[in-house]
Amino acid sequence: MEKDMINASRAHCLVFPYPAQGHINPMVEFSKRLKHKGVEVTLVTTHFISKNIQKEGNSIALETISDGYDEGGRAQAENDQTYLEHFERVGSKNLIELLEKLSRSGRPVNCIVYDPFLPWALDIAKDSELVAVAFLTQSIVVDIIYYHVSKGEMKLPLLEPEVLLPGLPPLEAQDMPSFIYKWGSHPDTFDMLLGQFSNIEKADWVLCNTVYELEQEAVDWMSKIIPMRTVGPTIPSMFLDKQLENDKDYGLSIFKPNVDACLKWLNDRSKGSVVYVSVGSMVILEVEQMQELAWGLRMSNNYFLWVVRASEEAKLPKNFVEETLEKGLVVQWCRQLEVLTHEAVGCFVTHCGWNSTLEALSFGVPMVAMPQWTDQSTNAKYITDFWKMGLKAPMDEKGLVRREGVAHCIREIMEGESGEEIKKNAFKWRKLAKEALDKGGSSDKNIEKFVANLVARSS
């Protein structure tokens, strides 16, 4: 073991996430796991993110490069395509310079773990003769769908109501990612997602933030095309096992979490009595949807802790916060892992982002699914129909979830029969997620193999 650690310390990975919260979180956490196994890790982010980030721990070395938008990041660019093109032009030069700088300082890098949203990082790794590792941040089910589109094997727009793809059960059109079922929406973002597969077969390793047992058939199928290994859930062990209190690194947060207020408020609530509500870091709700959600929470008559980002606050009904003080706490951001593992939380109203989905599954928190766009509709389908960990809030013909639907789903989970069923499944998924990361578990074994290979190549 000690020998491994000494050898492993010669391995130095540069970990390079796309600069968005949902990509930074899993890749920071993966970095911590590598470090725990003796690998030196340097995380790279953009100047803009670095200036705006809350560093909630410092176990991972951080370096920054310019994406060409130092003042506003992605929001400064017209669309994803413009952003990515400029990032590639400016960022690739800066990434090469960073590699040279680290080499000169006696800390040469021998591996780049890159986010396939930035596929040019693979070319830099290859040109520099470094190990190139793609780290997929979405589910394999969704990757299979995008893979088929990117290879021209799934014709769009869809003509059939049902989609049949290898590794996946039959899915309806509305269970597809939004770019497919709302064909033509956000074409630049869709291109970015498809671009993940433009050169991935050249990667030395493809790692994925999922749990093998959760998406077994999909992983088995995809692995025949692109050999890949599951390394998730990328959640600190201390949250999966409350006995482990040694990890105090909460990663990097683009938004400032309201830690004390949330914990104090949750500590005053009884077990399983609180509904936690969040639509993640990017979803922008229509004003009408925000208001329906607000009235739905109030109508359910449960306690709720609701994350409403500062940019979304003006959409809340007038005086809603003041008038709901007795029942609810509205914050601009929280430490979601701390909240989801708090015993007061009994239900999670979620947009079904992949990280939030994995986190809720791993902690056994029943979900009310309110998918909004991108892969969220596919995740919602799996949450409700296959993993049976939640209920999908019904949408009307305008695509909005009404207050009655929100209140009904919450009550069903908190007090109804569906809740009983889901709670039984919750135990299973929680156990499975923890086992995957425990010594000898599916993800732990994959991480070990990856590290051993890295050590062999770098010694």
Interaction site with ligand UDP (CB under 6 A): 21-22, 25, 278, 280-283, 307, 333-337, 353-356, 359
CB of 213 to ligand UDP, least distance (A): 20
CB of 426 to ligand UDP, least distance (A): 18
CB of 331 to ligand UDP, least distance (A): 7
Residue 54 vs 301, nearer CB to ligand UDP: 54
Residue whose C-alpha is closest to residue 135's, from 27, 240, 222: 27
Q: What is the DSSP string of 200-243?
A: GGG-SEEEESS-GGGSHHHHHHHHHHS--EE------HHHHSTT
**In contact, 37 and 451? CB cutoff 8 Å:** yes
Tell me the residue ranges of DSSP E strands in 310-378.
328-331, 345-350, 367-369
**In contact, 28 and 53? CB cutoff 8 Å:** no
CB of 188 to ligand UDP, least distance (A): 17
Supply 5's token pair: 């650690």
The label of the residue with tokens 């951080």 reads 62
Residue 239 vs 451, nearer CB to ligand UDP: 239
- Helix ranges (H only) for 114-215 are 120-127, 140-150, 178-181, 187-195
Residue whose C-alpha is closest to residue 110's, from 246, 11, 43, 35: 11
- Catalytic residue list: 23, 115
Residue 102 vs 114, nearer CB to ligand UDP: 114
Cα angle value 442/447/448 (rounded, 5°): 95
Residue 7 vs 114, nearer CB to ligand UDP: 114
B/e letters for 14-32, b = 16+ CB within 10 Å, e = fewer, are: bbbbbbbbbbbbbbbbbbb
CB of 371 to ligand UDP, least distance (A): 11
CB of 8 to ligand UDP, least distance (A): 27
| CA–CA separation, 437 and 54 (whole Å) | 27
